[in-house]
Amino acid sequence: MTFWPEPGLGGALRRETHYGDRSMLCFADRPASLAALFTDIARRFPDRPAIVDDRTLSYRELDALAGGIAASLSRLGIGKGDRVALFLGNCWEFLAVTLACNRMGALVVPIGIRQRRAELQFLLGNSGARVLIFEAELASEIPAPEDVPELAHCYVAHGDAADARPFEDLLAAAPADAPSPALHEDDTAVILYTSGTTGKPKGAELTHLSILHSAYAFARAHELTEHDRGLVAVPLSHVTGLVGVSYATLAVGGCVVLMRQAFKTADFLALAGRERITWSILVPAIYTLAVMHPDFAKHDLSAWRIGCFGGAPMPVPTIEALAAKLPNLQLRNAYGATETTSPTTIMPQAYWRDHMDSVGQVVPYAHVRVLDADDNEVAPGEPGELLISGPMVVPRYWQRPDANAKEFVDGYWRSGDIGSIDRDGFVRVFDRKKDMINRGGFKIFSAEVENVICGLDGVIETAIIGTPDPVLGERVNAIVVTNEGASLSERDVAAWCASRMSDYKVPESVIVRSEPLPRNANGKIQKTVLRETLAERAASYTGK
């Protein structure tokens, strides 16, 4: 059983060798680089809209801006292999600089705007960035020059800042003066730092090859064309916003609609309706907040046909409400990571209603193995760690030989996720390996319990956390975020779970709140913070 539409973007698959000795399936019909991809799209669709932000840029205009920026960076002595860091929110400047760097072989280093000075200093130092382009409102977070000695040039956008030149200076050079170095598709294009939930963040090296395959995968699976309009409501500094939506939309000549301001449901709905968006990739909580909003019906969202999501289960009431209000909207799950340049799996178009507990099927050029604790293959449907290979898997981490040796094995990346693949090829992801709960010898996967709780009406999102117990080893705890109008109690949640799952899986403590779950700069739920919340609550009960 397979979902891959034939024929399609990228053509047939053929076996190739990349990154030294990795054998993989690749699209036979693909551009030689990201620069070649954009040059061809700009030639084919010069007058179509490419980006909607505070202004609308056509492909002709975006091509000229990228060329001028590349020429200006070249005048500074920036060339192939140099790193250009972006400390920017969602804006056209972010994408224009990225395309400029793709053209000249420089490496883009996106940095989330929630990072603070110490974090920014580490990322700039680790990447060896020579150029930093940042938001004026973030000037106070920029490290002192002596703390980032390799950083030679600073530019500020959307305002002024001391010791930084205005971004507009990068637009002064003629596009015709942009360099055109020889590029190889195995070259690194973007260094995207992982969340750093344990230790320092690692810089995943996204290549021209990996980005092209991920962009083509989303575009082909969702049958995107130049008429599609993709909404970026997650940060461009995250693999989903940059590759999953932006590159995938640009790869077919579509329009990237940027949500610049901090997320507010009313603003999201207004932008989606006004710009007639046709697709996006969002976390499930956004869909829930949107369909619950009192102004939902005031906006014309009839053009919205693909609602891709990942990272958490989609609440059943949300699915039902969206089906009633937007019958043409397909909610299609996907699964991936920074190290896989976004998608490893995508839900087949024909099966999304019947397999909502699955993250879809493996994209055809990839291969996923499911291994037990002794690295033996498990039977179909049995859980184990997911090991992933394919052209979308990054070749390495930046300057981290220790992590490379540990996490990349025989051409596969060890995901650290526990999941399964059934006989029909549908993948399910249960938990992070380190977050799996062991209660009295019974293994409990967070995703299974979270899926059940999300079926309760009024629940926006939830997290299952294990806490130490001297007798059982660990106990199960739930933190449940509800709509402000919901009247769920802790007993309601426990009773709902007790009637739908084994007793050992039922949460022994439940916190119901309206405050959103804490997330890191990459949008992942910070379970370490939630564990601290639970520890503080326990201490208050015992008087410690």
Report if residue 267 sits inside a domain.
Answer: yes
Does the predicted TM-score (pTM) go above 0.85? yes
Domain CATH for 467: 3.30.300.30
Average of per-residue pLDDT across 255-268: 93
Instruction: Name residue 336's beta-bridge partners.
Output: 343
pLDDT exceeding 90 applies to what percent of the chain? 78
Range in 397-401, 464-468, 477-481, 522-526 the model is least confident about: 522-526
Q: What is the 3-state secondary structure (H, E, C) of 466-505?
A: EEEECCCEEEEEEEEEECCCCCCCHHHHHHHHHCCCCHHH
Q: What is the mean pLDDT of the chain?
A: 93
Average pLDDT rounded to a whole number, residues 90-95: 98
Domain hosting residue 448, numbered range: 441-542
Q: Contact, 396 vs 404, CB < 8 A? A: yes
Q: How far apart are CA 470 and CA 214, in angstroms?
A: 46
CB atoms near residue 433 (< 10 Å): 15
Q: What pLDDT does residue 528 have?
A: 85
pLDDT per residue over 117-159, tens digit each? Answer: 999 999 999 999 999 999 999 999 999 999 999 999 999 999 9
Q: In whole angstroms, what is the distance from residue 207 CA to residue 184 CA?
A: 9
Boundary-marking domain end, from 361, 392, 426: 426
- The predicted model gives 14-21 an average pLDDT of 96
Q: Last residue of a domain, which of 426, 461, 493?
A: 426
Q: Is the same domain home to 399 and 459?
A: no
**So what's the pLDDT on residue 183?**
97
Residue 435 counted as domain residue: no
Do the domain assignments include residue 2?
no
pLDDT at 4: 67
Q: State residue 523's pLDDT score.
A: 67
Mean pLDDT of 252-276: 95
Per-residue pLDDT tens over the stretch 500-520: 988 999 999 999 999 999 887
**pLDDT tens for residues 424-453?**
999 999 888 888 898 988 889 888 899 899
More confident residue, 365 or 311: 365
Report pLDDT for 540.
65
Domain co-membership, 415 together with 448 = no
513 and 400 together in one domain: no
Pick the more confident residue, 196 or 85. Answer: 85
Same domain, 447 and 479: yes
414 shares its domain with 483: no
* Helix, strand or coil, per DSSP, at residue 523: coil
Domain count, the chain: 2
CA distance 211 to 188: 10
Same domain, 48 and 96: yes
CA 106 to chain centroid, in Å, comes to 22
- Are residues 419 and 447 both part of a single domain? no
Same domain, 408 and 355: yes
pLDDT band, residue 485 (cuts 50/70/90): confident
295 has pLDDT over 80? yes
Asked whether the predicted pLDDT for residue 350 surpasses 90, the reply is: no
Q: Per the domain annotation, does 171 fall within a domain?
A: yes
**pLDDT by residue (tens digit) across 36-86?**
999 999 999 999 999 999 999 999 999 999 999 999 999 999 999 999 999
Q: Are residues 479 and 357 in the same domain?
A: no
Residue 470 lies in a domain: yes
Same domain, 247 and 376: yes
Same domain, 80 and 228: yes
Q: What is the mean pLDDT of residues 370-377?
A: 95
What CATH number does residue 182 fall under? 3.40.50.12780
What is the structure's pLDDT at 5? 66
- The answer, yes or no, to whether residue 480 has pLDDT greater than 70, is yes
Per-position DSSP letters for 143-163, written without gaps between them: PPGGGSTT--EEEEESS--TT
Residues 241 and 114: their CA atoms lie apart, in Å, by 15
Instruction: Give the range among 22-36, 281-295, 513-527 with minimum mean pLDDT.
Output: 513-527
- Whether 36 is covered by a domain: the verdict is yes
User: Does pLDDT of 544 surpass 50?
Assistant: no
| Residue 433 lies inside a defined structural domain of this protein | no
Preceding amide of 31 cis, omega within 30: no
Is 436 among the domain residues? Answer: no
Mark whether 235 and 296 lie in a shared domain. yes
Q: Which of 363, 394, 426 is the last residue of a domain?
A: 426
Residue 522 has pLDDT above 80, yes or no: no
